[in-house]
Every structure is written in C-alpha cells, then in structure tokens.
Structure 1
Amino acid sequence: MLFDSSVRRELWRSFIGTLVVLLTVVLTMLLIRILSQATRGAFAPADLSLVLSYTLIGQLPVMVALALFVAVVTVLSRLWRDSEMVVWQVSGASQFAFIKPLLKMAWPAIVLVALCTLVARPWAQNQTEVLKQRYEQRSDMARVAPGQFQTSADGKRVFFIDSHSDGQQTARNVFMVMTDKGQESVVTAREGLLQLDQGLRYLVLAQGERTQTDLTTGEKTLSHFSTARIAVGDAPDVALKVPEPRSMSTLDLLAIPTRQAQAELTWRIGLIWATFNMVLAGLSLAAGNARRNSNWNLVYALLVFVVYFNLLSLSQSWVSKGKLEWISGLLLIHGGLTLGALFMIWWRDGAVLPGRHVSRRAWAASQAEGV
C-alpha cells in the first residue's frame, strides 16, 4: 500500500508541474502565431481569444502525453539515482510491479487524451473553420475597422476607411494601396461599395483619384474619376467547400471509407495508444545505475519520444497515400512499441535469458551492496 501510494503521489506532482510548464510555453507560442495570422486577415481580430482556445484544445492531447512521459521518466530516474528502486526490488517489488501504480495514476490522463482526441479536438477544429469561413464571407470593407489599416485576404491590398455606413457594405473616405505585377496604386475615394457580378467581387468607388507608380521605372500616373470599379477577387463559395477530416467527428470518419478519413483515424487512435505506450516506455527507459552519475537515460527517452511521434505522423501520411492499411499501421508502430517496452521491462526484471542467469533479487542485492 505504501509502495503504491508513494509512487502515485510523486508522479502526480511531477505530471502537474510539467503540464503547467508545457501549457505556458505552448500558449505563448500559439499566441504569437495566431496574432500573426490575424494581422494577415485570416480571421477577425475579435475572434482572437476563441481561435486561441480552440487551437489550445487541439494541442492539449500531445502536451498531456508528453507531460505524462516526462513525469514517469523523471520520477523513476530519481528512484534509481537515490537507490530507492534497489530498496523496492530487494523488498520484492519487480519492475512489472510498477505497472499497476503507474496505470492507476495515468488512466485519468489517458481518458483525457481520448476525449480531447476523439471529441474535443474535432469540434474545436470545426469551430475554427466556421470562424474563418464566416470571416471569408464578409467583404473586405466589412473586415476593416474604422481608423485602422487592414490587409486584404490575399495580401495584395491595404485598406483604411474613416467610417462605415449602409450595414458595413459601404465605406466612406476610402484609402487603398494595391500592389500587383510591378505596379503600385494608391486610390482615395469618398465612398466605396462592394458588389458581386458573375462570381467576382468588384469594389465600386465614387469621387476619387488614383496614383499609379511603376516600381521598375518610377513613372507615376495621376487620374481622377467620378466612378471606378476595381476587381478585388472571387466571391466565396462556402457551399462547395468540403470539410477537412480533422474537423469531422470520429463517427463520421468511421462511416467514410476514404484514405484521408482512415489516415485521420490512424492519428487519433494512435495518439491514445501512444499515451499508454508512454507509460510503459518511461518505465523501461528510466532504469539506471546509482553508482553512475549519468543522465543518458533521459537523452534516450527524449530521442524515443521524438522518433515515436514522428512515426505517428509518418504512419498517417502512409495511410493517406495508400502505402499502408490504417489497422496495420496501428499494429505495426504502436503495437511494436508496446511489445518492445514490455520486453525491456521483462529483461530488466532479471528474466533468464541465454547467457544471463542472474536473478532480479541477487542483482538488486549487489546494487545495494555497491559491488
């Protein structure tokens, strides 16, 4: 009982501390990236907090898996370094005996990863796509807040308006800079109205002037107009947009026998399996020698995590390209690591192998005596 409770208590402390640090770092990186996307006109600045929350939900499963792996490795490495592991082994606790308290501590984290991966992440991705599509349907005039410069969706135009009118479809005191094919145009107008004509967007300007500069020769051309119409892009056709597999629910993916759907299922189910494997891998990689002041096991653990999660993404790519069946990919990569981790635990537990006839209890006693 003491063995079980002490190991789980220390694992929880390490897991929560690691997860808080990871959340802080990832949240800062996501905020910088999302702010950059907002300035390029990917979504409305007012939706910044929502997009940040949805993106953080999408990143949460990987962070929980990493925090769990780090907690297992650091706690068990400390037990080996301080010779506590040797004491437990001499007392009769084998390496396999650690699997039970580890899984008792880890099952809430595995359930959290499963819920986030199968339910919360697709929902958050779908909500992000809805926000972006809703913003794409708005005109470039409606995207611009009065008194602020705003870049258009394609990045070729910069708008500035003094005020909105007519339900944000008509803008007053319009200033626009357009750059395309070596030409830079500065357009000012008293009013601007967005119109749709045969699937194209046109900006109709009234009472203004245009200064066009050839960026190669520096030649300038000034013209005045009472009415002008400028093409500003295609009209959005959201109805023809097919939802991405990442934003589809797990039940919908199971009902669609496409490679892209199976690849997404490979990633989702594989991430849950990977979280379980992180517990076994951490137990098998944390073993060390108290007489050697070395942290190579931590380096090996980090290398295993990086390679494993790269294989997780690689298996998704193989399934989407038809090089591998999704069930075969799950069994090959995740099942292979499960068997490999169990074999390492069995081997470190003092199992009898060819050329190795030292029992676990005798080996632990020699470690304790410092022989």
Structure 2
Amino acid sequence: MLFDSSVRSELTRSFGVTLVVILTIVLTMMLINTLGQAAGGNVAPQDVLLLMGYASLAQLPTMLALSLFISIVASLGRMYRESEMTIWFASGIGLRRFIKPVLQLALPVLLAVIVLELLLWPWGNENSAQLREQYQKRGDLSRVAPGQFQSSRDGSSVFFIDRDSADGRTGRNVFILTQQGKAEAVTTSAKGHIELTETDRFLVLDRGQRNESNHESGEKSLARFEQYKILADSQVLRSAEKPPPKATGTLELLRDPSPRNDGELAWRFGMILACFNMALLGLGLAATNPRRANSWNLLFALLSFVVYFNLLSLSQSWVGTGKMSLAAGLAQVHGSVFLLAMTVLWLREQGNRLCLPWRRFKTKAEVSTGAASA
C-alpha cells in the first residue's frame, strides 16, 4: 500500500542516518577511552581494536534502540510540522494505522537486539574480560618491550631490556631501578632469564652489579655478582575463577537462578522489551504543533529515553540485590511503559477524532450559511 511504503521508507532513511551519527560519536568516545587505558598500562596496545570491537557489540543494542526511537520521533515530527499528518488524518487514517509500518521497521532491529543481547553480549564480555585479565596477570617482565622503560604494577621498580630472545624469557643488557622507602638500588646485568616455580616467577641475572644508596643516611654500597635471583611475581598460576554474570551465557543463567544471575537477565530481557516499547512510545511523543517551529517534542522524547533506561538499570539493581523477582521487575518497569505508550497513543487518537468532527460541522455550517445568503 502507498501509505505503508511511504511511511516505511521515510522511517528507514531516518533510521540509517541516525544510526551512522550515533555510531560515529560512540566509536570515537570508545577509541579515546581505550587508548587512554592502553596508555595507562591497563590493556595491551595490540588489543585496542579487539577491545573496541567487543565494546561496540556491548553498546550496539542501546544504539539501535536509541536510533529507532529518534528516527520515529524525528520523522513523524517532521510530518506533523509540514502538515502531512493532517492530510493523513483527514483521509481517515488514524494514528493507530502508523503502528504497522513502525513495527515493520522495528522488527529487524528487534531481532538484531535479541541476538546481540542473548548471544553476543556475554560472548563479547567474556572475551574482553579474558584479554584484560591475561594482560593484568602478566608479570612485570612480560610487559617490558626491548628498548623501552617499563614500570612495575606497584610503581616500585623500573625495568629496561636492550633486546630479548625469541621465547621472551632471556634478555641482554638488563637494567632495574628499585626504590623501597628511602633506599634506592640500581641493578645492571649483561644477561638475564626467567625461571618459573609452581606459584612464583624469578628473574635470574648473570654477571652484573648492584649499587644501593640510602637517601636518608647517605650510605652507599656496591656489590658485584655472578648470579642474582630476584622475585619478579608471586602467585603467577591461579585457579580459574567463575566468570561474572555478564560474561555468562543466557542458558547458563536460566539454569542457575540467583539474584545476581536474575539481575543480568533483567538487563538482557529488559533491553529487548525496551526496544519494542520505545518504538510504540515514539509514535505518541512525535506529535507537535505545526505553527511552532521548535524541537521540544524531540528533547522531551530524549529525556523520556534517558529516564526509561535509568529505570532499566535500577530494575537490574533491584533484581540483582534480591529486592524483587525477575518477573516483577520486568512487569513493573516495562509493563508500565507499555501501558503508558498505549495510553499516549489513545489520547492522541481521541484528540484527532475530536478535532475532525468539529471541522466537518464547521464546514457544513459555512456551506449552509453561504447557500442561505445566495
């Protein structure tokens, strides 16, 4: 039908443009944040693109829901301002008739959100956590790149290696600066290698010297050695911990009900319901006065989106702490928004019906008055 195709094409164009803009803004912010973490030594520089990809998958459902909501409000708001909606209403097409093309656009977006939240969300979080954990569990020596100074995790030591071997366990021209309180020690060696025990990692230096100085007393000492062993990392091998709920598959969360798992399920199922509710709520919030050239309806719609998603996070916290059950959290938050969306649609529909009979009555009165005068 001409009505369905025209409205659907208008919404599709607006959705595409909005999604590109939001993706550009969010990806830029993610890039800056990830580069900052890499510069601070929290993540590996070579994993920046992977972490950005996993973070994008985690934020993509929210971006899709927001793009869908903005495209509906912006497109229908433009139709209100340019009196296109008045023409459709005068043709006998009510606001409820717009639900079909809107849901036709929302259906593929909703399917994408379902796949992202139930499948890709835990997978991306698990891989991202593994990358961060592997980098954090690496020893101080493992972080050292040849030709670069690198500080330890606690900031008490600085390492420098001129070059290393292919296996990464042997280095030449090793320099270590250690500071403990008022004492400072500089250790140099021609060669060093790493030895692993059951729980610890040691750095063994060959043919070097150690220069110690105390800034408080001024005492200095110089010692030469043929072999010197330094504890680099303790408890290198740790038992695998249970992954957090956000990195756990949906089926595993359903099999193991608990407040924390139910809180994560409240977020995943809530995102799916929120995407559907926001599509319906956008229909009612898009109405605007064509005589006023402003965008207050769009600002109010964005405010509604922010409030809704804050309620979604709040419901996740309530369910996660055991204050309410999963079903009660979903019903109270998303059921209330669904009823609100249907109420707004009904009020808009009743407003249009009240206006049209008055206009028809006025037209008939004007016609009869003109015929009487003639």
TM range (shorter): 0.7 to 0.9
Rg (Cα) greater in structure: 2
- Listed as ranges, the matches of 1:240-259 within 5 Å are 240-259=240-259
4+ residue runs over 6 A deviation? 363-366
The whole-number CA distance in structure 2 between the counterparts of 1:185 and 1:136 is 26
Structure 1 residue 199 displacement after superposition: 3.2
The answer to whether the 8 A contact 2:157-2:177 is kept is yes
TM-score by length of 2: 0.87
- Check whether the contact 1:81–1:289 (CA below 8 A) recurs between aligned residues: yes
Q: Is the 8 A contact 2:140 2:233 kept in 1?
A: no
Aligned partners of 2:110 and 2:272 also within 8 Å: yes
Aligned match of 1:355: none
Residues 89 and 41 (structure 1), Cα distance of their counterparts in 2 relative to 1, 3 Å cut: same
- 1:123/1:321 Cα in 2 relative to 1: closer, same or farther (>3 Å)? same
Name which of structure 1's ranges 115-124 and 134-143 shifts more when overlaid on structure 2.
Answer: 134-143
Q: Deviations over 1:104-159 (max 9, x none)?
A: 01111111111111111211111122323333454332332212333444555443
Query: Is 1:278–2:273 an aligned residue pair?
Result: no
Amino acid at match of 2:319: V
2:350 is paired with a residue whose SS is: coil
Q: Give the TM-score normalised by the residue count of structure 1.
A: 0.88
Q: Hey, what's the Cα distance between the residues in 2 that align with 1:49 and 1:213?
A: 45
Alignment of 1:13-28 (within 5 A): 13-28=13-28
Aligned-residue offset at 1:95 = 1.3
Report what 2:42 is aligned to: 42
Structure 1: state its 5+ residue gaps.
353-357
1:361 corresponds, among 341, 349, 356, to 356
Taking structure 1 as reference, are residues 342 and 238 closer, same or farther at Cα in structure 2, changes over 3 Å only? farther
**Residue in structure 2 matched with residue 290 of structure 1 by the alignment:** 290
Cα 1:18–1:40 shift into 2, 3 Å: same
Query: In structure 1, what is the equivalent of residue 170 of structure 2?
Result: 170
Q: Does 1:123 align with 2:123?
A: yes
Structure 2 segments unaligned to the other structure (5+ residues): 364-374
| Residue aligning to 1:54 | 54
Residue pair 2:183, 2:212 contacting (<8 A) in 1 also: no
Distance 1:210 1:261 in 2: 55
| SS across alignment from 1:251 | helix
- Give the equivalent residue in structure 1 for 2:210: 209
Q: Determine the C-alpha separation between the residues in 2 that align with 1:183 and 1:90.
A: 87
Percent of paired sites with the same residue? 44
Amino acid across the alignment from 2:356: R
CA distance in 1, matches of 2:45, 2:101: 46
Tell me if structure 2 keeps the 8 A contact 1:158–1:176: yes
Q: Are the equivalent residues in 1 in contact too, given 2:141–2:232 (CA < 8 A)?
A: no
Residues 54 and 179 of structure 1: CA distance in aligned 2, closer, same or farther (over 3 Å): farther
The answer to whether the Cα contact below 8 Å between 1:92 and 1:361 also exists between their aligned partners in 2 is no
- The AA in structure 1 aligned to 2:209 is G
Please report how far the alpha carbon of residue 236 of structure 1 lies from its aligned counterpart in structure 2 after TM superposition.
3.5
SS of residue in 2 equivalent to 1:118: helix
Asked if structure 2 preserves the Cα contact closer than 8 Å seen for 1:40 and 1:153, the reply is: no
**Counterpart residue type for residue 224 of structure 1:** A
Give the superposition deviation at 1:293: 2.4
The 3 A distance-change label for structure 1 pair 109 and 220 is: farther
TM-superposed deviation, 1:255: 0.9
Measured at CA, do residues 153 and 124 of structure 1 come closer, stay the same or move farther in structure 2, by a change above 3 Å? farther
> Closer, same or farther in 2 for the Cα pair 1:13/1:176, shift >3 Å?
farther
Instruction: Give the CA deviation at 1:218.
Output: 9.9
Alpha-carbon displacement from aligned partner over 1:6-59 (angstroms, at most 9, x marks no partner): 111111111111111111111111112112222333333222222221111111
CA distance in 2, matches of 1:300, 1:365: 32
Alpha-carbon shift at residue 223 of structure 1 (Å): 3.8
Separation (CA, whole Å) in 2 of partners of 1:156 and 1:249: 40
Residues 43 and 284 of structure 1, relative CA distance in 2, 3 Å threshold: same
Pair 1:96–1:317, CA change in 2 (3 A): same
Structure 2 residue matching 1:280: 3-state secondary structure: helix
Contact 1:95/1:348, CA 8 A, preserved across alignment: yes
Q: Is the 8 A contact 2:198 2:237 kept in 1?
A: no
- Aligned partner of residue 334 in structure 1, secondary structure: helix
1:348 equivalenced with 2:348 (yes/no): yes
Relative to structure 1, the CA distance from residue 167 to residue 10 in structure 2 (aligned partners, 3 Å threshold; closer, same or farther) is: same
CA shift in 2, pair 1:187/1:81, >3 Å: farther
Contact 1:40–1:151 (Cα < 8 Å) also in 2 = no
CA 1:13–1:162 in structure 2 vs 1: closer, same or farther (change >3 Å)? same
Instruction: Report the aligned-residue RMSD.
Output: 2.7
Q: 1:208 to 1:275 in 2, by over 3 A?
A: farther
Between 225-234 and 27-36, report the one with greater CA deviation: 225-234
How far the C-alpha of 1:230 sits from its partner, in A, is 3.8
Query: CA 1:235–1:350 in 2, change beyond 3 Å: closer, same or farther?
Result: same
Q: Secondary structure of 1:188's partner?
A: strand
CA distance in 2, matches of 1:238, 1:365: 79
